[in-house]
Amino acid sequence: MANAHERVFSGVQPTGNLHLGNYLGAIKRFVELQDRFECLYCVVDLHAITVWQDPAELKKSIREVAAAFLAAGVDGTKHIVFNQSQVSAHAELAWIFNCVARLGWLNRMTQFKEKAGKDRENASVGLYAYPNLMAADILAYRATHVPVGEDQKQHLELARDIAQKFNNDFSKSIADLGLAEKFFPQPEPLIAGPATRVMSLRDGARKMSKSEPSDASRINLTDDADQIAAKIRKAKTDPLPLPETVEEMKTRPEADNLIGIYAALADSDAAAVIAQFGGQQFSQFKQALVDLTVSKLAPITAEMKRLVADPGHIDQVLGSGAERAEAIAGETMNHVKDIVGFVRR
Ligand code: ATP
Ligand code: MG
């Protein structure tokens, strides 16, 4: 079992269209960490509303992400599965972090630049402050390990900077209260394996994403076998046979992506996939990839369907998770309020 101070936290936004990148980069890893750590897995609905969400769709998406966690093998009894808005500490600590983080730090965040696009003046303030809320999600539980995809690396680094600045700014108060000098730990990103950045099936330079308009760009966790087969067959490739060395993959982004997906689904690595398929035509490899993807995703998709049909059960899992999460985060918040110098009841 984990050391007493080790704790995993991660989240997925309920923004619709859960995809293979979310599964391989995050959810599959969540499952694998359960034996070694105490884990909190959160449906981050406060993050979702940084861009417009239709209220009825949002509710559906929250339950769908929770269902995906459970269907993939997250244990909501041994660990904690909940939605962010049910635990007020996230928003409260985020405000305090808004006052710790510097504008210059947030101005460097590439996700904001990508998501706000050209019309930056019209982006929500929430989208800009998103990384501070993410730091609060993690640090409210004083989590030490955060499994995420490669795209979240920069936000994790910001969370570490916020933790350090808080500890420094308030070092005297922390000492006066008799608390550990490193009140907030430095959360470690867990970004590893062959599929930390799954790319679009239509464009090897863009990440597979929920918010990408083209459905053909991603494999959704709700796709059936025919849809998966059609999307993989149509996936963009170059005209050459499969690379014969790992080195060669570096200059061939589409091949690199499909090989990475295969390796991650097979719990293998790129070198082993190349040893098996290197030099073959893409058509052959794509058929093997279709078979593997369907065999791995179909049971998850079926279980998600079953769970989503019983929203009462999902709401009960989320409610029980939120109660247990609140107990941990509440303790952190009590300390934080004392550290900052607020008068309390
Ligand atoms: P959105 O476009 O709404 O931001 P998203 O697809 O990026 O959606 P998130 O909910 O933001 O999904 O991210 C959930 C988790 O999935 C994060 O850990 C993120 O790093 C990971 N993730 C997202 N896209 C990919 C990808 N293409 N490859 C690997 N991991 C990914
Ligand atoms: Mg994202």
Which among 37, 338, 44 is positioned nearest to 183, based on CA atoms? 338
Q: Residue for token digits 């992506």?
A: 257
How many angstroms separate the alpha carbon of residue 58 from the centre of ligand 2?
16
Over range 97-116, report the average pLDDT: 97
Ligand 1 atom nearest 209 alpha carbon: 6
Residues 258, 264, 269, 274, Cα dihedral to 10°: -30
On whether 293 is known to bind a ligand per the annotation, the reply is no
Which among 65, 151, 197 is the best mutation to test ligand 1's pocket, defined by most ligand atoms within 8 Å of the CB? 151
Calculate the alpha carbon distances from 151 to 22, 115, 198, 295 in Å: 11, 13, 10, 27
115 in catalytic set:
yes
Block residue for tokens 């700014």? 169
Both tokens of 24, joined, read 């391989």
Phi/psi for 227 (5° steps) reads -65, -40
The yes-or-no answer on residue 286 being catalytic is no
Question: Could you say which DSSP state residue 215 is in?
Answer: G
Q: Which residues pair with 199 in a beta bridge?
A: 207
Distance 184 CA to ligand 1 centre (A): 25
| Protein residue with least CA distance to atom 16, ligand 1 | 22
**Ranges assigned E (strand) in the chain:** 7-12, 38-43, 80-83, 145-147, 188-190
Mean of the per-residue pLDDT values for the chain? 97
Ligand located closest to 152 CA: 1
pLDDT tens-digit series, residues 284-319: 999 999 999 999 999 999 999 999 999 999 999 999
Residue 338 CA, ligand 1 centroid: distance in Å: 35
Task: Describe the crossing of helices 282-308 and 253-265 by its angle, rounded to 10 degrees.
Answer: 50
Q: What is the mean pLDDT of residues 57-83?
A: 98
Q: 127 pLDDT exceeds 90?
A: yes
Ligand nearest the Cα atom of residue 195:
1
Q: How many CB atoms lie within 10 A of CB 236?
A: 16
This prediction's pTM: 0.97
Strand partners, 12: 43
Please identify which of the residues 59, 115, 165, 236 carries the catalytic annotation.
Answer: 115
Task: Name the residue at shortest CA distance from atom 8 of ligand 1.
Answer: 210
Q: pLDDT-based confidence at 3, cuts 50/70/90? A: low
> Taking 90 as the threshold, does the pLDDT of residue 333 lie above it?
yes
In tens, the pLDDT along 10-33 reads 999 999 999 999 999 999 999 999
Band of residue 5 on the pLDDT scale cut at 50, 70, 90 = confident
What does the pLDDT look like over 228-250, one tens digit per residue? 999 999 999 999 999 999 999 99
Residue 1 has pLDDT above 70, yes or no: no
Q: Which residues line ligand 1 (CB under 6 A)?
A: 12-13, 15, 21-22, 25-26, 148-149, 151-152, 196-198, 207-211
| Res 165 pLDDT > 60 | yes
Active site annotation includes 78: no
Residues 182, 81, 87: CA angle, nearest 5 degrees: 65
Residue 84: name the closest of 322, 337, 344 by CA. 322
Domains defined along the chain, listed by start? 215-306 (1.10.240.10)
Is the pLDDT confidence value at 4 over 70?
no
pLDDT category at 211 given cuts 50, 70, 90 is: confident
